[in-house]
Each structure stands twice: as C-alpha cells, then as structure tokens.
Amino acid sequence: MPPPRPAAVFLDPHFTVGEVDPLLFGSFVEHLGRCVYTGLFEPDHPTADAAGLRTDVLALVRELGVTMVRYPGGNFVSAYRWEDGVGPADLRPRRLDPAWRTIETNRFGLGEFTAFTRSAGLEPMMAVNLGTRGPAEAADLLEYCNHPSGTTLSDLRGAHGAPEPYGIRLWCLGNELDGPWQVGHKTADEYGRLAAETARLMRMIDPSVRLVACGSSGSGMPTFGDWESTVLAHAYDQVDYISLHAYYDPEAGDPASYLASASDMERFITDVIALCDAARARHRSAKRLSLSFDEWNIWYMSRQRPGQGEWPRAPRLLEDVYTVTDAVVFGTLLITLLRHADRVTAACLAQLVNVIAPIMTEPAGPAWRQTIFHPFAQAARYGRGQVLRLHVASPTYETPKFGDVPLLHATAVHGEDGMLTVFAVNRDPAAALPLTVHLGGFTPAGPATHSVLADDDPSAANTMTEPERVTPRESAAPAVDGGRLTVTLPPLSWNVIRLPLATDR
Ligand code: AHR
C-alpha cells in the first residue's frame, strides 16, 4: 500500500479575500410541495404557536444559523398574485399553481411569512412576479410592505394587523426568466427592459431597497453569458446584485465528477464576475455588482417525475434524502461560496424545509436534520470574519467532466472572535488525506479542535426513525507545533478545524 499523499495549505494574516456578509447564509421558502404547509406552517401541529408556525421547526431553523430567507418562489412566484395571501385567511382565494400543478389555498401569505421571519430572526428577501405581472404590481407590493401609512395600500396593511411597515430591504426582480419552463419566460432583451423599469419604479417608492436582477438559472443554460450581458446592458445602473442558481444532481453523471461539482460552481462564479465587470466597464460605472447565489444545493433532479393530471394540495414533492456523500459535496459548495466572499455577498440554500431541504418534517410528527444540515450550521456559525486567501497544494484525481481536480477543497476564516477556522473536504472516497496547515504569521493561543462528518457507509442518511445516524463527531486534537498544524482528513469527509489565535500579531 503506497503511503498517503499529503496536502498543505499556506496562510498569511495579511492575505485576505474579504469579509463574509452574513447574507451568505440565507435560505429559501417557496410555496412548493410541503415547504410551507406541514413544513413551516401547520396550525394543528402539537408544537404550533399562535401564528400556526411549528416551533420544533423554528428551533431547527435557529440552530441551522440561517440569516435571511427568500420568498415566495421560485417558479411559483411567476404566476403569483400577492394580494391573494393578505387579509382574513378564510376569505382568501384558492388558486391553481401552474408551476408545480398544485392547489394553492393561500392560507399562508405575506403576514404569516413576516411572522415567521420575525420569530426566527431572519432578514426577508422578497421576489416579485415578473412572469405574468409587471412594474405596477411590484410597486403595489412594495407600497403595501414598506410605506408607513396614509395610502390605500399601506393602510390596508395596517387594517390587516400590521401598522408598522415591514421594511423589506432585499427584492428579487422575478425568478429564472431565462428558463423556458418559467411562466412568462422572456428573452434577455424583454427581461432586461422590464427589470430596469421595475427597478426604477421601486426605487422611486423606496430608495432604500436592494435589488437583484435574474441572471442565468444555471451555468449550462444555452443563453448563459449573453443573458447576463444583455440584461446588464439594460439594468446595470438600476440593480445591486445579479443572481446565480445551481443544483448538482448526484445521479446525472459519473461519481468522480459529482464529487468535483464545486469546479462548476467556481467557474460559474468567476464567469459571472467577469460578465459583471465587463458591463461595469461599458457603463463607466463606479459601482461593482454583487452576486446573489440565491438558489444552490444538491438535487436528485433526475428522480423527479413530471406532475400528473390531478391538482393536489401540498403534496410530497422534491423530498430528497441526503447521504454522507451529498453532505461532503455540499460542503465543497459552501467552501466555494466562502472563497468568493468579496463578490458573493448573498446566497440562499434552496430550500429550507422538506423540499430539497436541510430540515425534514412529518405532518403531526417530528422534525429532523438531514446530513446537509450539519455543514451549513457549522459554516454559518464559524464562517464569520475575514476569509483568507490560501495557497493550496494538493494531490489531484482525474474526473471525466473537469479534468484533474484537487482531492483537498479548503478555505479558512479569521474570525472576529479571534479563532482561525479551516473548512476542509477530502474528496478521496478510499484514502485519508494528511494535511499540514502552515500558519504563516498566526500565533496559536491554545489547542486546536477537529470536527469530522464522515461514515464507513457513504450512503448513510438521517431519517425519521434514525434522525441522528449522521452527525459531526469530534476527532483527536490536531498537533500544533512550530507554526504548523497537522491533521488527517478521513476518506470522503467534511472537516472543521479550529484554533484559538493570540491577538499580538
Ligand atoms: O428550488 C426549486 C426550483 O428550482 C425553483 O422553484 C426554481 O427557481 C428552480 O428552478
């Protein structure tokens, strides 16, 4: 047996990428399947509060460390009438939701969503419908939400029990309008004009809003690149962010390339930065656009069956069960987002509950954490501060899709709390990876810790009957000596290594 090939990372306190924006740890709640109904919201559940929210789920949302939540879609928003979801619940209309072929009762709407964000301490990110609707309806929604009082719409909010404005700062100008599946699908020119005009009107009503233009719904879209350039030709001056969406399907290709999914995410981010900066040059603008990676996750999309003829209410849709392997790949995606913290300043794990989600629930039953819950919770907790610009030296492996890919995927954050945190994935399914962290000018001030998520069975998952099957475990403390920390990363593992630092550097 050949000796394991080592990897190394080199740090320097002066070499930083940028400060992590807390909005990087956002998530997404769509009216889709059981994300809302029997997920977040189940008035008859034994743990439900007065607003009908499941407090067992609220506790897990807090533990997950989510900071922001996008709502109400997704594909759903492109045919949604926000007015259907406000006012007395028993007077709200039942509608067909063409995006997911379900019946929407509108029992949950804007007021309930706001009750949720307030209970969980989350910043809302609201999407407006630019599929079947336009600037007027977006402006009405903004006035209803954010105007203090004295107009029909703001007073209507007061009459609906919310005299204080909701003060929603983040707004998405539609959803995935480049996608032929989207209700109201548009060309880049059509969407770019519409986004610019909607943005202009929204800013007239509330100049404090932060606006997200739709970028491509995936790096593989045939219009990718042209879409961003055209949309930004129309809307660069009016928006603050451009969106990116990416889902990685464990069963869509070969296993080696799946483990290297972050290579696609990395390339997608750097390409979108290039497109934004080219638009900036053309506009001779001082502004630099941010990236809002407002849908990302693992999704067993090839298992999805198209909707049948019936129109069910809150059916079980997209309820993927995540394995250890998925959690490790998910960890590489988190690391990639952190590595671009200077430009990716908002991101949403899609979605939050039941639908391709870190949290699962059973109607009238328990709630539990999927495997992917754990890397997210650790990154949201410890990934706060300055991301360091690392030099990574790693053995590689060959993949059909991405060529040679490093076995080690890592980033490091110098926390405001004086801690150094290294997030590291060993992609090798068979062998452990010895890692040396060269601490540069950092001075250790105590022993290091090492948390590992790995399993002898890479297909292990958490279920209702075995909810704690996969959790991170504390491993032996890494050795710290002579400016170096040494640690062994088990095969196919997500690792969080933490070291207290002296402040006298
Ligand atoms: O998150 C599930 C769906 O994926 C969203 O509704 C849509 O925006 C994307 O295609």
Which regions in the chain score pLDDT beneath 50? 505
295 catalytic, yes or no? yes
Instruction: Please list every protein residue whose CB sits less than 6 Å from any atom of ligand 1.
Output: 30, 73-75, 175-176, 217, 295, 350-351
What's the rounded Cα separation, in Å, for the pair 467 and 426?
Answer: 25
Q: 295: CA distance to ligand 1 center in Å?
A: 7
In our burial notation (b when 16+ CB lie closer than 10 A, e otherwise), range 113-123 reads: bbbbbeebebb
362 catalytic, yes or no? no
User: What are phi and psi for residue 393, nearest 5 degrees?
Assistant: -115, 120
Contact 100, 76 (CB under 8 A): yes
**What are the structural domains of the chain?**
7-13+388-500 (2.60.40.1180), 24-382 (3.20.20.80)
Determine which residue's CA is closest to atom 7 belonging to ligand 1: 74
Rounded percentage of the chain residues whose pLDDT exceeds 90: 96
Instruction: Collapse the DSSP code of 155 into the 3-class scheme (helix H, G, I; strand E, B; otherwise coil) and give the result.
Output: helix
What's the rounded Cα separation, in Å, for the pair 256 and 405?
Answer: 9
Q: What is the pLDDT of residue 307?
A: 65
Determine which residue's CA is closest to atom 8 belonging to ligand 1: 74
Determine which residue's CA is closest to atom 3 belonging to ligand 1: 74
- Sequence-distant (≥ 6) Cβ neighbours of residue 392 within 8 angstroms: 7, 8, 9, 406, 408, 410
The catalytically annotated residue of 42, 112, 176, 228 is 176
**432-445 pLDDT tens trace:** 999 999 999 999 99
Determine which residue's CA is closest to atom 9 belonging to ligand 1: 74
Q: What is the pLDDT of residue 482?
A: 86
Residue in the structure block whose two tokens are 């004009």: 193
- Sequence-distant (≥ 6) Cβ neighbours of residue 375 within 8 angstroms: 327, 330, 331, 334, 453, 494
What's the rounded Cα separation, in Å, for the pair 223 and 214?
Answer: 13
Task: Give the nearest ligand 1 atom to 99 CA.
Answer: 6
Q: 33: CA distance to ligand 1 center in Å?
A: 12
The catalytically annotated residue of 112, 228, 266, 295 is 295
- Sequence-distant (≥ 6) Cβ neighbours of residue 179 within 8 angstroms: 185, 217, 221
CA 175 to chain centre: 15
Q: Within a 10 A sphere around the Cβ of 279, how many other Cβ atoms?
A: 21
Q: 499: CA distance to ligand 1 center in Å?
A: 38
Q: 180: CA distance to ligand 1 center in Å?
A: 13
Q: What is the pLDDT of residue 306?
A: 64
